[in-house]
């Protein structure tokens, strides 16, 4: 059977190249919204964190109808740390739109997601977006994209893919770089013409590959995937199996079945081969499982998700303020929440440790794990995390480490600072090109060399630099890299920070806290430009005499403290420090809170 009434496509691109904004316009012009309906921007970014940060974290499904054809669209994340999302959803589609910014051109994540699409033999449409940018260089970007395809060994057919020029913000497209266009009709027509109708077996036994998992408090786990063969019917008896795990064999029933119409899940009694559906009733369903007819168990092969490259230790909070601010604070709470995250996130790995209170959490990068930390914090969890570490590999007795492909766009005046910092971080320059008054530099740099670099990079480029990286490969160990050149200002006693104590401490470095902040012994309250920790007493008050009064503290002038964001705190913490995360606060503390014990441990480490 040939499904002429259906197309399944994904939109893939580098972060901030306009995928979600383009989908907004496709939904509007595809008739999903009424003409007078008020719709917020980036409607597909439904999560609070996604809306705040302007990034897509989870891949999402939607659909539109055009000329009697239903087009299922998967909007994918652009950030490298969420590329596991991209890898698995590509199994649901038969074609991809490769979106490229008309000014920036192909970036690291563009290369990564395009490579995955080429490996799976998917058809491509190249979409040059943001053609209305004043610094757009459309023809050069087209050439760069074709060079990228050739570099990735694309087939002749893939290199000859059609090119559409768009402005997602304005909702216009054109097949001619010099023409502006009036709507997205050229894009829709190209999708229908270039992506052929699916040829599927509707009469065979059911095969449904699960590519995504959702969760609902009322019905439990909800599987999302494409029907590879046969017909799915509500109430049908099925068997769950897995291509990579032959031991999986679960029997159950498709209790509820839904089709995706626009942004809604619409209940249906049956769905045909090629349809992307959601279903509930199979409580132990996982990503990569195949739902088969009960009398014909045959799993579908599933893509192998790339391994994590970074790990942190999540542990129960044991600071003096433990349990005061969080709703979920015990080992059981932390364990259940981390293992529940594995149901949705295929790139995440969680392992128990020798300690019952700690868990090793492995992910694709600092951003990947910081999003998990922030999500848990907002849900009411209280816990501690260690500094991020890279995951090593032992190959033929040689130690290998993950290396990232880093691309930076900077003003010419900032290139010296970037070269200097990359030299310290063992970065190797592989390409350099001029883009008008700016310079694009491409480095291969150890992943651990990028820890803590982002804030330095923004300072060095006066906020004008753009940097992005993606995993390249494992290479032999590059040698020692200094993690941090600053020391910590550590609270000397437990109490409440006062102006007089802070005034005396600010001469030692930059403070993170202001007056009235509760502190405890061993808590990091600032940083020192010296490469050593300094104990400070921020609770110290002025003694009263007949010539002085405590009210004179008001005359002391404090430098405004530097409030660290979650990402900045993760970049800052050293190997002997932990980050205490609660719904109300993010604190940095020493692993050993007692000052004397800390000094003994440091002396012992030097001797060994």
**Domain closes at, from 390, 407, 433:** 390
From CA 227, how far away is CA 209, in angstroms rounded?
Answer: 7
Question: Phi, psi at residue 508, to the nearest 5°?
Answer: -90, -15
pLDDT at 51 over 60: no
Q: Which residues contact 456 (CB under 8 A, 6 or more apart)?
A: 421
Quick: pLDDT tens for 226-265: 898 889 999 889 999 988 888 888 898 998 898 888 767 8
DSSP letter (8 states) at residue 328 = B
Q: Residue 229 falls within a domain, yes or no? A: yes
Rounded CA Rg of the chain: 27
Quick: pLDDT tens for 377-387: 999 999 999 99
The whole-number pLDDT of residue 93 equals 85
Residue 582 burial by Cβ neighbours in a 10 Å radius (0-12, 13-18, 19+): buried
Better-predicted residue by pLDDT, 220 or 547 = 220
Structure tokens belonging to residue 520: 């405890």
Q: Residue 226 falls within a domain, yes or no? A: yes
Q: Give the pLDDT band of residue 511 (cuts 50, 70, 90).
A: very high
Quick: pLDDT tens for 458-494: 888 888 887 877 788 899 998 888 877 788 999 988 9
Residue 472 and residue 428 in contact, taking contact as beta carbons nearer than 8 Å: no
Residue in 254, 194, 196 with CA at minimum distance from that of residue 225: 254
Please tell me the number of Cα atoms within 13 Å of 392 on its side-chain side. Answer: 10
Q: Are residues 217 and 189 in the same domain?
A: no
**Domain closes at, from 373, 390, 407:** 390
| CATH number of 116's domain | 3.40.50.300
Q: Are residues 271 and 333 in the same domain?
A: no
Quick: pLDDT tens for 343-400: 777 778 999 999 999 999 998 878 788 889 988 999 999 999 999 999 999 988 899 9
The whole-number pLDDT of residue 165 equals 92
DSSP letter (8 states) at residue 506 = G
| Tally of domains within the chain | 4
Q: Give the pLDDT band of residue 335 (cuts 50, 70, 90).
A: very high
Q: Are residues 105 and 215 in the same domain?
A: no
| CATH number of 353's domain | 3.30.70.870
Strand spans (E) along 331-424: 349-352, 358-363, 383-386, 389-390, 393-395, 398-411
Residue 360 and residue 353 in contact, taking contact as beta carbons nearer than 8 Å: yes
Q: Are residues 54 and 151 in the same domain?
A: yes
Structure tokens belonging to residue 293: 């007819």
Give the range of the structural domain holding residue 211, as residue numbers without chain letter: 207-293
Structure tokens belonging to residue 491: 């609270």
Q: Mean per-residue pLDDT for 263-292?
A: 85
Report percent pLDDT > 90 for the chain: 29
**Domain closes at, from 241, 262, 293:** 293
Residue in 356, 365, 329 with CA at minimum distance from that of residue 570: 365
Q: Residue 506 falls within a domain, yes or no? A: no
Quick: pLDDT tens for 58-85: 445 778 888 888 888 886 664 444 455 5
The whole-number pLDDT of residue 587 equals 94
């Amino acid at each position: 059977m040939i499904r002429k009434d259906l197309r399944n496509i994904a939109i893939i691109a580098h972060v901030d190249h306009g995928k979600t904004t383009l989908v907004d316009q496709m939904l509007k012009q595809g008739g999903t919204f009424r003409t007078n309906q008020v719709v917020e921007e980036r409607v597909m970014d439904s999560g609070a964190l996604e809306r705040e940060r302007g990034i897509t974290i989870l891949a999402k499904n939607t659909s539109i109808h055009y000329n009697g054809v239903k087009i299922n669209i998967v909007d994918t994340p652009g950030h490298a740390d969420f590329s596991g999302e991209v890898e698995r959803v590509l199994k649901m589609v038969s074609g991809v739109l490769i979106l490229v910014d008309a000014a920036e051109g192909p970036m690291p994540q563009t290369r990564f997601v395009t490579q995955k699409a080429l490996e799976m033999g998917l058809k491509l449409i190249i979409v040059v977006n943001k053609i209305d940018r004043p610094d757009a260089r459309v023809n050069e970007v087209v050439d760069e994209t074709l060079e990228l395809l050739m570099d990735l060994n694309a087939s002749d057919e893939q290199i000859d893919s059609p090119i559409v020029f768009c402005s997602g913000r304005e909702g216009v497209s054109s097949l001619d770089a010099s023409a502006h266009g009036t709507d997205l009709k050229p894009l829709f027509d190209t999708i229908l013409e270039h992506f052929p109708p699916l040829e599927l077996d509707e009469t065979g036994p059911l095969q449904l590959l699960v590519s995504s998992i959702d969760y609902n408090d009322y019905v439990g786990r909800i599987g999302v995937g494409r029907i590879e063969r046969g017909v799915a019917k509500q109430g049908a008896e099925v068997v769950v199996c897995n291509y990579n795990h032959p031991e999986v064999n679960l029997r159950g029933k498709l209790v509820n079945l839904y089709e995706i119409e626009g942004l809604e899940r619409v209940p249906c009694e049956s769905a045909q081969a090629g349809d992307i559906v959601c279903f509930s009733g199979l409580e132990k369903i996982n990503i990569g499982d195949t739902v088969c007819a009960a009398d014909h168990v045959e799993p579908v092969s599933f893509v192998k998700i790339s391994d994590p490259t970074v790990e942190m230790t999540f542990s129960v909070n044991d600071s003096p303020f433990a349990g005061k601010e969080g709703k979920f604070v015990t080992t059981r709470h932390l364990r259940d929440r981390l293992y529940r995250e594995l149901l949705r996130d295929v790139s995440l790995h969680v392992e128990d440790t020798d300690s019952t209170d700690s868990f090793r959490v492995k992910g694709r990068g600092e951003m990947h794990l910081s999003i998990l930390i922030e999500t848990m914090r907002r849900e009411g969890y209280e816990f501690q995390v260690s500094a991020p570490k890279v995951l090593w590999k032992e190959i033929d007795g040689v130690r290998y480490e993950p290396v990232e492909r880093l691309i930076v766009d900077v003003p010419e005046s900032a290139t010296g600072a970037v070269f200097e910092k990359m030299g310290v971080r063992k970065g190797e320059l592989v390409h350099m090109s001029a883009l008008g008054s700016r310079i694009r530099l491409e480095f291969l740099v150890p992943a651990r060399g990028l820890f803590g670099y982002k804030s330095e990079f923004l300072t060095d480029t006066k906020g004008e630099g753009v940097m992005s990286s993606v995993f390249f490969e494992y290479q032999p160990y590059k040698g020692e890299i200094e993690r941090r050149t600053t020391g910590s200002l550590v609270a000397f006693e437990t109490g409440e920070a006062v102006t007089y104590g802070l005034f005396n401490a600010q001469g030692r470095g930059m403070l993170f806290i202001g007056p009235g902040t509760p502190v405890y012994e061993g808590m990091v309250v600032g940083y020192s430009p010296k490469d050593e920790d300094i104990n400070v007493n921020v609770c110290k008050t002025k003694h009263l005499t007949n010539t002085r009064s405590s009210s004179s503290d008001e005359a002391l002038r404090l430098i405004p403290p530097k409030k660290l964001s979650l990402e900045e705190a993760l970049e800052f913490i050293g190997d002997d420090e932990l980050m205490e995360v609660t719904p109300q606060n993010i604190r940095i503390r020493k692993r050993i809170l007692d000052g004397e014990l800390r000094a003994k441990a440091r002396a012992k480490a030097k001797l060994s």
